[in-house]
Structure 1
Amino acid sequence: MRDKKITEEFYIHLLGFRPMGSGNYPEYLMVEKDQVELHFFLFPELNPLENYGQVYIRTSDIKGLYREFLDRKVPIHPNGPLQAKPWGQMEFSVLDPDHNLLTFGQAV
C-alpha cells in the first residue's frame, strides 16, 4: 500500500472488511472479512501502473458477494465482471487503489 488511510477506506468502508489490531503499526494494516485476512505493508514508492500484485479469494456465495459489492458501489474491473470461467469457477475481479488485483471465485 502507498497510503494506509486510502487502503483502509477502500477495504474497510467500501469492501466491508473489518480492521484487525494493526492500529499501533503505522506502516502495517490487517483486515478481515468472512475468515479471509489480508495484510498490507507501507510501500510509498509503489507505482500502481507497474504493480502486479494479485490475490485469489474463494467464497461460498459468489453471487451474494457480487451483489453486495454492486450495492456498495465497488468498481468492478472492466475485464472482470461476474462470469463462469472455462476452468470451472464463477469469478469477478476488483482493483484496489494500488492496483492489487483481487479476484473472487467459487467452484461451479
Structure 2
Amino acid sequence: MLTSINPKLPMRNKAASREFYIEKLGFSFFGNADYDGYLMVEKDNIQLHLFEFKELNPLENYGQVYIRTNNIEDWYKLAIDMNLMLPQAGHLEIKPWGMKEFSLLDPDHNLLTFGQDI
C-alpha cells in the first residue's frame, strides 16, 4: 500500500528556499536535523523535499508539483498579497477538466500548481 508522496525539487540556495516556503507560504521545517544541501518542509498533509543544485539555471528548470487543496481562493489571495511570481498562464481559473487552479514559481522556478475540485 502506498501511503504518501514527497516530491523532491531542486534549489540553488537553501536560505532563499527556506524563506519562500516557510515565511511566505507558511510551511514548517520538517525533521529532527538540518542537513547540508537538503531542506524538508511540510504543511497540513504534504511534505516537499528540496535538494541543493547550485548550478541550476532557473530558466531551464522543469520541476513541478501539483498540490490539491480545499481552499484555493485563500491560497490564491496569499500568492497575490505576497506578490509571488505567477507565470503568465498561472492565474486562478476553472479548467476544462473540472478543477479550479493557479500556479506560482518558487525562487528556482519550480512550478507549484494548486488545484481544487469544482
TM-score by length of 2: 0.84
User: Counterpart of 2:16?
Assistant: 6
Q: Would you say 1:30 and 2:40 are equivalent positions?
A: yes
Determine if the alignment matches structure 1 residue 67 to structure 2 residue 77: yes
After superposing on structure 2, the runs of 4+ consecutive aligned residues of structure 1 that deviate more than 4 Å are none
Q: Equivalents in 2 of 1:13, 1:56: separation in Å?
A: 20
Partner of 2:99: 89
1:28-67 mapped onto 2 (5 Å cutoff): 28-67=38-77
**Superposition TM-score, scaled by structure 1 size:** 0.91
Question: Is the CA contact (8 Å cut-off) linking 1:2 and 1:46 kept in structure 2?
Answer: yes
RMSD over aligned CA atoms reads: 1.4
Mark the runs of 5 or more structure 1 residues left unpaired by the alignment. none
CA distance in 2, matches of 1:88, 1:79: 17
Offset at residue 101 of structure 1 (A): 0.4
